[in-house]
Structure 1
């Protein structure tokens, strides 16, 4: 059964709002990217400097004050997986009365034909599921795979691993979800094949910005009934403003399909960390 969120008032469809911490990447300090080292056959971390204007543990309260109901947190912005830090992070969400919707793990190729790589990445993802449980996250987003979208064997490997990870998560009270994100799910055909195979045990994030333009409307419509959250990344017009007409079309599809999961605003512009997020949220509220 998919999570459903109470966001209808007097019969009118209303969206609850979230952000991905990707929208805060200029404020939360270093980005700790995970990569695969082919020589050592293991994961390693490469750090990219970013300014530290805000501690991650201070973000839930700030987000609540800015009208959000949930947060989705990128794994590479979590500075530590020590139990003490994860407990502190959990407490920051609880004290702010805001939901830790998803821990977004941006690394892993569970579709790899390399058995060592695939099994190592599955174990790595299990570690993040454990971290999510300690931090109080509802779900962990797992990348379906980095192999080409037309690779049927890779799709089969991905589906098997997603089911394995979903069971691991369920035993720890964490939902495993995936997304139309990265090469294996680059087409509506490959993404829908995976989603149809894994069924309701692995819902999906729908990212507006990751569809091929010709498949965007059909992709949103297809995924609406399986959605865990929506990554509402708008297109921008040449003058830098949000393409409100296209955004309205995407939101209408969700409304018509009865999709009432949280909208995570993905913002790439703005003078401060909140002005563009607030502008997109205000626009969505009137569309």
Structure 2
């Protein structure tokens, strides 16, 4: 399996597309004039040896049912598995508008189902962790899972509500086993990073294999160590490659990430 996140190709795709931001969020993503059409991405992925992709929600230029069906067909024609739609906005523990955020996220999960995605990744929350917020996040994630039984809901060790493994595990426990985990290898930078990744890797079913770059130089040691840690913990799911560097050669950089990931395994 060779997997990638569309975030790694945001320059290739022409950067951000979707104008649909979460409730109470004034940010609107600005469409770009040029870039590879998302409908052409599956064939391009296949040419580069990929068979699995995760799509960021904001890369979809349209949520029209006809467009979603067309994109699903393009994925099928290229034999590309859509591992996850990444809902990269919303806050399930927003102190004022959590209900509205949950409804907005639910709409995107419906789009993920229409696309034939295996999973939809939902942000656990953007607020600092408290026992009540962790419980609320787990409850709302479970509600989303119950509302959308045809797709697996996963969350991620990302943003303010999940600064460490304790918070991740508390949320998953609060969801009562109805929600899974996408583990991101690059979101934690604390001295205990590897221990923390090892703690949650046993509960993870998909992964952002994120390798940090300084210019065109990958942090090989950190990335390989992260891969080894999750392997030792028994992780056996997809490794969706993430290139977050600034250099324009995204396909080439991803090959470097793939090579390091393979060596780590």
TM over 0.5, shorter chain: yes
Of residues 160-169 and 61-70 in structure 1, the stretch that sits farther from structure 2 once superposed is: 61-70
Aligned residues of 1:186 and 1:210 also touching (Cα < 8 A): no
> 1:89-168 residue pairs with structure 2 within 5 A?
89-114=71-96, 117-149=97-129, 151-168=130-147
Aligned residues of 1:186 and 1:212 also touching (Cα < 8 A): no
> 1 CA distance for matches of 2:27 and 2:224?
39
Query: Does 1:230 find its partner at 2:199?
Result: no
1:68 Cα shift? 1.6
Aligned residues of 2:23 and 2:100 also touching (Cα < 8 A): no
> 1 CA distance for matches of 2:157 and 2:106?
21
User: Deviation per CA, 1:228-262, whole angstroms, max 9, x where unpaired?
Assistant: 2111112335x742222222211111221221111
1:50 Cα shift? 3.9
- TM-score, scaled relative to structure 1: 0.85
Query: Does 1:48 find its partner at 2:51?
Result: no
Q: Which of 30, 54, 62 is matched with 1:72 structurally?
A: 54
Query: Does 1:280 find its partner at 2:257?
Result: yes
Which runs of 5 or more structure 2 residues have no equivalent in the other structure?
Answer: none
Query: Does 1:17 find its partner at 2:23?
Result: no
1:23 Cα shift? 0.9
Query: Does 1:88 find its partner at 2:74?
Result: no
Aligned residues of 2:156 and 2:181 also touching (Cα < 8 A): yes
> 2 CA distance for matches of 1:191 and 1:125?
19
User: Deviation per CA, 1:6-37, whole angstroms, max 9, x where unpaired?
Assistant: xxxxxxxxxx3211111111122352361443
Aligned residues of 1:163 and 1:201 also touching (Cα < 8 A): yes
Query: Does 1:61 find its partner at 2:43?
Result: yes
1:200 Cα shift? 3.2
Of residues 87-96 and 25-34 in structure 1, the stretch that sits farther from structure 2 once superposed is: 25-34
User: Deviation per CA, 1:131-167, whole angstroms, max 9, x where unpaired?
Assistant: 1111111111110011102x22111111110110011
Aligned residues of 2:224 and 2:263 also touching (Cα < 8 A): no
1:54 Cα shift? 0.4
Give the aligned length: 261
1:49 Cα shift? 4.6
CA RMSD across the alignment: 1.8
Aligned residues of 2:209 and 2:242 also touching (Cα < 8 A): yes
Which runs of 5 or more structure 1 residues have no equivalent in the other structure?
Answer: 1-15, 38-42
User: Deviation per CA, 1:163-212, whole angstroms, max 9, x where unpaired?
Assistant: 10011121xx1111100111111222222211232243211111111113
Q: Which of 238, 244, 251 is matched with 1:268 structurally?
A: 244
